[in-house]
Structure 1
Amino acid sequence: MSEVNNSEEPDKDPESEECPAEDSFGFGDDLELNQFDGLPFSSRYYKLLKERKTLPVWKVRCEFEDALVNNQLLIVSGTAKTGRSTQIPQWCAEFCLSAQYRHGMVVCTQTNRQQAVDLALRVADEMDVNIGHEVGYTIPLETCCSSETVLRYCTDDMLLREMMSDPFLEHYGVIIIDQAHERTVSTDILLGLLKDILLQRPDLRVVVLAIPPMTAKLLSHYGHIPLISLEPPSPARVVHSNSGNKDYFYSALRLVLEIHRTKEDGDVVVFFASAQEVHCARSILQREGTRLGAELGQMVPLVLCPGHGGPPPVPTVQPDSKRSRRVFLSTQKDEDMWWAAESISFVIDTGVQKKMVYNPRIRANSEVLRPISQCQADLRKQLSGPASKCFCLYPEDDQLPAENSPQILESNITPTVLFLKRMEIAGLGQCDFIDRPDPEGLMQAMEELDYLAALDDDGNLSEIGIIMSEIPLDPQMAKALLASCEFDCVCEMLTIAAMLTAPSCFLEPPAGTTHEAVQCHRKFQHPEGDHFTLINIYNAFKRSQREQYFSAEKWCQDYFLDYSALKTAEAIRSELNDTLNRIELPISEPSFGTKTNTHNIKRALLAGFFMQIARDVDGAGNYFILTHKHVANVHPLSGYGAQSHKLGLPEWVVFHDYTLSENNCIRTISEISPQVFIQIAPLYFFYNLPPSESKDILQDMLDPDGKREDEKQKVATTGNDVDSGCAVAQQTQDRCVIQ
């Protein structure tokens, strides 16, 4: 890359003499003018520059810049608080600037959307430029970039989505994969595909940021490539528990109260196993905090877990409060989010995490309690300085797993297979996974896509599959939305898809208000099922915005609904609407509430979710799931659970998801007609169902005269009359178009 090196010797700055490699890039050019926007530097720039040079990553700046020039791929090994996520992207931006951006700009991926935003804000400040101009970010449902952007932070899933239109990522000269040790599905796919992209683009540079032992696995995967190791910050003083962590939850809370009683300065971070534990802990600490003496100062428990913000929020204490302590309650995926937290003096690590693990045989997630990995434990010990303390609520000799378990081995990979099939069309080769998905999971994903008619006879994407891959939803929901275009209920299905993609809109009521919350939620319940209830809630929310624009948030509070979740659903619905317009699919006028519309919504739902059908086998709410013969109950938040004593439970339902847990529940269910199920579901799916009484009932409806073999072809080609009175010709057309 001869174009990288400047032909003339630039003017040297005293700051640059410590690193001769800066001269070849123009890194040491006149510091009076910003090389990115041509404006004079502010005094804040020099103040921050002095702070930046104290970061551990600055010790390897020359080594990094040399490696970037001479290698397509390199790995940087370093923990949080070393400066790797803020400084390396800036040096890469200077590298691209030295080549006049001939090969593209810089993108840096993050696994957490809030961290992507906060890093972009911090780096824009350090580079002395405006956010959204030279430095920007892209996260789901929000973009803050412009044509001037040379450094962009984004979530790993958004960079994957960008590959739909730019398979070889030709817009970028340097791609930085941060937090590779998190092993998210999107990051693992990027690491696998970039191996092929590098062969196609010799001008591209890829920098992977991770921590040991992930760096060793990356070196084994990619072969002989440079590894730059950063000196880790000094860990806190570590105190281990001698007992097991069976009672970790209450042990952690007791420890928080003990720390607060010592009157030692500093905030506390507590890592719990799940978001549910986090919210429960906040309620308990709020209650116990009111019983503490005023002389101890105020203790403020604050929730920080996925979906609830980013790095530590601003203290919510009175300005005149001399002694106040924030207690941040977090979960297992937030270790790297504390890079900007300087006030942390105590870290409490419960040492366990609750994870959802997908079982392809029954197409369901199960919740499991596991120990954290050793690399997570090490990160938590380094969150605060050497003068601080880290309390580990597990014995020191506990053998923790060395690294994080790859999510691709524990997730439903059907969306992943759909994406990779789309990339094959774009010309990319096979994804070279660091850890290959389980063959059973791959087979299940291929089978599911085949049932959804997303694959042709050769196993490649069909036309329907290509359209489904354009819609940013899980394949089943994408198929249901696509079917709604044929059934003239797009408006309603957009709302259902948005509400189910966004976080739950139902707030957990404060203690003592459960009955009131149930009464409020019951006002939205629809007799046809939970999917229709979600439409009622969304429509009521939109009316509250129109009629009481400045009090929509208050309206949500009054009805125990989550305002932020409904705003997210609104944004998702708008994005989906734009997607349908872009790919020129018809959008019907809303007609919610009519009998025809209700029937069409159920047909559209079944077009995507025919694999998630259950039958009440005893009239008491014990639902037999046809695909794997498990029995489940209705989730407590379901409208059927609240009104079953009045209307009774439906015999046949379609459900959105099923989780193996203590409650073993199906969630978001709506009543369906078994005759409509027979009409919509592919026949080969139906005949592949395991034997059961429920299947026999459906078989008798499909073949009332017992001539099953003779009728199979007839049903497949002409359809079967249903209780709605639809004409056979119309059914045949629906089957051909949707399937």
Structure 2
Amino acid sequence: MSDENNSAESDICPESEEGAADDSFGFGDDLELNRFDGLPFSSRYYKLLEERKTLPVWRVRCEFEHALVNNQLVIVSGTAKTGRGTQIPQWCAEFCLSAQYQHGMVVCTQTSRQQAVDLALRVADEMDVNIGHEVGYTIPLETCCSSDTVLRYCTDDMLLREMMSDPFLEHYGVIIIDQAHERTVSTDILLGLLKDILMQRPELRVVLLAMPPFTNKLLSHYHSVPLISLDPSSPAEAVHSHSSNKDYFFPALRLVLEIHRTKEDGDVVVFFASAEEVKCAQSILRREGTRLGAELGHMVPVVLCPGRRGLPTALSEQPDSKKSRRVYLSTTQGEDMWWAAESVNFVIDTGVQKKMVYNPRIRANSEFLQPISQCQADIRKQLSGPTGKCFCLYQEDSELPAEKTPQILDTNITPTVLFLKRMEIAGLGQCDFIDRPDPEGLMQALEELDYLAALDDDGNLSEIGIIMSEIPLDPQMAKALLASCEFDCVSEMLTIAAMLSAPSCFMEPPAGMTHEAVQCHRKFQHPEGDHFTLINIYNAFKQSQREQYFTSEKWCQDYFLDHSALKTAEAIRSELTDTLNRIELPISEPCFGTKSNTHNIKRALIAGFFMQIARDVDGSGNYFILTHKHMAQVHPLSCYGAQSHKQGLPEWVVFHEYTLSENNCMRTVCEISPQVYIQMAPLYFFYNLPPSESKEILQDMLDPDASIKCEEEKQKAIPVSDQDDSGCGIGTQTYDRCVIQ
């Protein structure tokens, strides 16, 4: 850096003067008026300012602001609880204010929708402004912003969605990518596209916030950019297990009870491998808690998983009494969400996680149990602070992966490819991935988009593909929704898409109430399949909202349904309706229940999900999936699972989801007609199906004359010695099936 630049920077932030960093960009914190809203500062602002100055990130404020002035891209390396997610966005807002917002405002991405809201509320408080005005947030299905917003928190997927209308993000002067080490698909896409955007917009500033060792990867990817390292906060005392972590579940629960018996102050966080383990642990701890003596105090197990509503409330509320202890039960994603939990004094880390890994060959997810990364382990050791304890239920010399596996390597990237094809139309170059997707997965994604008619002969987006990219759904569901416009069943398909996009509406019943819950859910079951059952539930929920004497919350409780999930489905349906109206697609009037409507819904479903067809090969529920020859069963909670003993199972079904696990179950299943299937499925997809008896059955329906001719040719080809007196072939010689190519 030149001496002239050094001199200019020293004028901005003279490090020799105490408190000079507060006067950066010419706006001092000691001024009476708030430069963001023009109002006098409150006494709370000054109180919070003193707390902010104690954060580790505050010590690098001057260095960060110098780097921001002189570089397009800045990387900040730091752990949780350093204040990076609250302070750096505020300094970036001051930077944009100093330029009178001529290049735009500030946006800060988060991987968790709950943390985006939580941070926005905290930062609005620290900046002494109103949430939704100068500081706001945007998360799926909820926006709290205005024309006055200068700093906005949002989820990474929402910023990607914004690029559909603003490919070069010209609305922003500073873009902050927080939690880059989480390696979500949306964050990785942003990191790849921002390289091209920075070349197109020299005035833009990008700040990447991440934990080591991922910061080293960022440095090698972007080359010659400043790195600012924050001093890590002191980790808690770590106690490691002397045995392997294969049997971690019950030792973790026993450890919770032992901590509670010590009567030491502080709440407990336990990280389990999956949501199923979390629910089981909650049930066991509730039962064991009733057996503890009153002198030990009340132990309250609390389920906290990323994406669940009410997280800030659960973390900020004080226990009912001084003797109450909360035990937070969480999964392995989103450790950074605990930055606001001041009451946690004990952390129990099982050291393992269950991950879904997508297999492009069979178009299905497989569940794997694997160790967490060293990065995750380091975060957990710091959550309880220097005075707490972290119990690691794995050996100290265990070899953990250095960093998380990028989600883009483990997931179905068909939606990603559709988005990137749309960005090519907008003028952005190829996405420069930090870790490139698997070539096999990429080819499968392109093939799937071709089957869905989203690509033209040159491999670019077709008109259908462009419309599909506008709809915030997976490509298959987007295609089914588009097909419903042709078959006059849009209203019903909107409901199906919303219900499948929202969390499951079926609530797990309390102990001893399983039979009652099953009986209640059975009232909604539809003989045509699970998709129709979801419509029944949604329509009944809407009817409960219209009843003046009956609240929808009470109605959901009575029928063991999740009210928040149904409200989410309602919001998703409204958003999808707005999208269809915006792109001027017709929305037909609902006519659910008629024979023609039922037929049309199935045609629309097959138009999008023709790659997910299965046939019951023996009449006992053993379904053969045509695309990859795997055998599967209908999920026990399916309406077919409940009615199979009465009505029998359908022979042909379309399913929404299939997971390769212990049960190999298909979820959300609907009976279909094979005749309708061969009408709706693209012929070139059908021809590419692997040979099977099920495919032969469909082929006979498609061209019965060709099938008869094929059999006659086979008979002629069999030697006379291999035929009996009746002329039937009984030899062992095999011949290729007559397959249309």
Q: Under a length normalisation based on structure 2, what TM-score does the superposition of the two structures give?
A: 0.93
Deviation of 1:322 after TM superposition, in Å, equals: 2.9
In the aligned structure 2, how far is the partner of 1:553 from the partner of 1:31? 49
Q: Secondary structure at the match of 1:402?
A: coil
Partner SS for 1:466: helix
- Which letter does structure 2 place at the counterpart of 1:81? K
One-letter amino acid of the counterpart of residue 336, structure 1 = D
Give the 3 Å change call, closer, same or farther, for CA 493–101 of structure 1 in structure 2: same
- Equivalent runs, 1:402-551 vs 2, <5 Å: 402-548=402-548, 551=551
- How far did 1:334 drift? 2.4
The one-character-per-residue Cα deviations of 1:407-460 (angstroms, maximum 9, x if unpaired) are 000000000000000000000000000000000000000000000000000000
Distance in 1 (CA, whole Å) between partners of 2:400 and 2:565 is 36
Could you say which residue in structure 1 is the equivalent of 2:128? Answer: 128
| Equivalences for residues 111-260 of structure 1 within 5 A | 111-260=111-260
For the aligned residue pairs, the C-alpha RMSD in angstroms reads 2.0
Pairwise CA distance, 1:25: 1.1
| Cα displacement (A) at 1:27 | 2.7
Give the equivalent residue in structure 1 for 2:556: 556
Deviation at 1:670, TM superposition (A): 0.4
> Which residue identity is paired with 1:136?
G
Distance in 2 of aligned mates of 1:244 and 1:702: 57
**1:313 partner SS:** helix
Contact 2:374 2:400 in 1 (8 A): yes
Q: Residue deviations 1:162-203, cap 9 Å, x none?
A: 000000000000000000000000000000000000000000
Provide the rounded CA distance (Å) in 1 between the counterparts of 2:318 and 2:29.
46
Deviation track 1:242-265 (CA, whole Å, cap 9, x = no partner) reads 011111011100000000000000
> In the alignment, what sits opposite 2:267?
267
Q: Is the 8 A contact 1:317 1:324 kept in 2?
A: no
CA distance in 2, matches of 1:204, 1:273: 40
Amino acid of the residue matched to residue 114 of structure 2?
A: Q
Could you tell me which residue of structure 2 aligns to residue 632 of structure 1?
632
Residues 643-662 of structure 1 correspond to what in structure 2 (within 5 A)?
643-662=643-662
In the TM superposition, residue 71 of structure 1 has moved relative to its aligned partner by 0.3
- Cα 1:278–1:705 change in 2 (3 A) is same
Whether the aligned pair in 2 keeps the contact of 1:304 and 1:312 (CA below 8 Å) is no
Between the aligned partners of 1:253 and 1:9, the Cα distance in structure 2 is 55
1 CA distance for matches of 2:481 and 2:415? 15
Confirm or deny: 8 A CA contact 1:10 1:29 kept in the other structure. no
SS in 1 for 2:597: helix
Is residue 313 of structure 1 aligned with residue 286 of structure 2? Answer: no
Whether 1:304 aligns to 2:304 is yes
Q: Which residue number corresponds to residue 580 of structure 1?
A: 580
The DSSP-based 3-state class of the residue aligned with 2:705 is: coil
- In the TM superposition, what is the alpha-carbon distance from 1:508 to its structure 2 partner? 1.3
Q: In the aligned structure 1, how far is the partner of 2:215 from the partner of 2:190?
A: 16
| Contact preservation (8 Å) 1:312, 1:341 | no
Question: What is the Cα deviation at residue 485 of structure 1?
Answer: 0.2
In structure 2, what is the Cα distance between the partners aligned to 1:221 and 1:63?
Answer: 22
Following superposition, the deviation at residue 335 of structure 1 comes to: 1.0
Distance 1:505 1:709, change over 3 A: farther
2:593 aligned residue: 593
Aligned: 1:397 with 2:400: no
Distance 2:582 2:52 in 1: 44
Change in Cα spacing, 1:181 to 1:206, as seen in structure 2 (3 Å) is same
| Unaligned residue ranges in structure 1 (runs of 5+) | 711-739
Match of 2:25 in 1: 25
Q: CA deviation at 1:363?
A: 0.3
Distance 1:28 1:47 in 2: 16
2:368 is matched with which residue?
368
How many Å separate the matches in 2 of 1:13 and 1:698? 75
Give the partner amino acid of 1:233.
S
Contact 1:12 1:29 in 2 (8 A): no
Deviation digits for residues 673-694 of structure 1, max 9, x if unmatched? 0010000000000000000000
Deviation string, structure 1 residues 505-528 (Cα, Å, up to 9, x no partner): 011112211111111111000000
Distance 2:276 2:540 in 1: 28
C-alpha deviation, 1:615, in angstroms: 0.1
Q: Which amino acid aligns with 2:484?
A: S
Q: Distance in 2 between matches of 1:503 and 1:673?
A: 29
Matched residues in 2 for 1:708 and 1:457: separation? Answer: 35
Decide whether the 8 Å contact of 1:610 with 1:677 is kept in 2.
Answer: yes
Q: Deviations over 1:36-66 (max 9, x none)?
A: 0000000000000000000000000000000
SS of residue matched to 1:64: helix
Give the 5 Å matches for 1:691-706: 691-706=691-706
* CA contact 1:77–1:211 (8 Å) conserved in 2: yes
Q: 1:659 to 1:37 in 2, by over 3 A?
A: same
CA deviation map 1:209-249 (0-9, x unaligned):
00001000000111110000000000000000001111101
State the alpha-carbon separation in 2 of the partners of residues 685 and 405 from structure 1. 32
Percent of counterpart pairs with the same letter? 86
Q: Would the aligned equivalents of 2:24 and 2:65 in 1 still touch at CA under 8 Å?
A: no
Query: Which one-letter code corresponds to 1:265 in the other structure?
Result: D
Structure 2: unaligned runs, 5 residues or longer = 711-741
1:351-373 residue CA offsets vs partner (Å, 9 max, x unmatched):
00001100000000011001000
Q: CA separation in 2, counterparts of 1:16 and 1:134?
A: 32
| Letter in structure 1 aligned against 2:83 | G
Q: CA deviation at 1:311?
A: 4.1
Distance in structure 1 (CA, Å) of the matches to 2:536 and 2:15: 63
Distance 1:202 1:19 in 2: 32
Secondary structure, counterpart of 1:659 in structure 2:
strand
Other-structure match for 2:66: 66
Q: In the TM superposition, what is the alpha-carbon distance from 1:480 to its structure 2 partner?
A: 0.2
* 1:48-127 alignment runs, 5 A limit: 48-127=48-127
Q: Deviations over 1:94-147 (max 9, x none)?
A: 000000000000000000000000000000000000000000000000000000
Label 1:9 to 1:282 Cα distance change in 2 as closer, same or farther (>3 A): closer
1:307 Cα deviation from its structure 2 partner = 3.0
- C-alpha contact (below 8 Å) 2:73/2:205 kept by paired residues: yes
SS of the residue aligned with 2:340? coil
CA distance in 2, matches of 1:40, 1:573: 43
**Which stretches of structure 1, 4 residues or more, deviate above 6 A after TM superposition?**
8-16, 315-318, 707-710
What amino acid does structure 2 have at the position aligned with 1:405? T
2:284 maps to a residue whose letter is: I
1:278 paired residue number: 278
Question: How many angstroms apart in 2 are the aligned matches of 1:550 and 1:404?
Answer: 48
Q: Which amino acid aligns with 2:625?
A: I
Structure 2 CA distance for partners of 1:188 and 1:105, relative to 1, 3 Å:
same
With 339-348 and 548-557 compared, the bigger mean Cα shift is at 548-557
How far apart in 1 are the matches of 2:313 and 2:690? 51
Quick check: 21-30 or 178-187, which moved more? 21-30
Query: What amino acid sits opposite 2:56 in the alignment?
Result: P
Conservation of the 8 A alpha-carbon contact between 2:24 and 2:62: no
Alpha-carbon deviation of 1:636?
1.1
How much does 1:536 deviate? 0.2
Cα distance between partner residues in 2 of 1:494 and 1:386: 51
Distance 1:442 1:316, change over 3 A: same
Q: How many angstroms does 1:341 deviate by? A: 1.0
CA distance in 2, matches of 1:145, 1:329: 33
8 A contact 1:13–1:28 mirrored in 2: no
* 3-state secondary structure, aligned to 1:305: coil
Contact kept, 8 Å, 1:11 with 1:30, in 2: the verdict is no
Question: CA, structure 1 residues 407+13, in 2 after alignment: closer, same or farther (shift >3 Å)?
Answer: closer
- Tell me the CA shift for residue 29 of structure 1: 6.4
Report the alpha carbon displacement of residue 709 of structure 1 after superposing the two structures with TM. Answer: 11
Query: Quick check: 1:108–1:176 contact (8 Å CA) kept in 2?
Result: yes
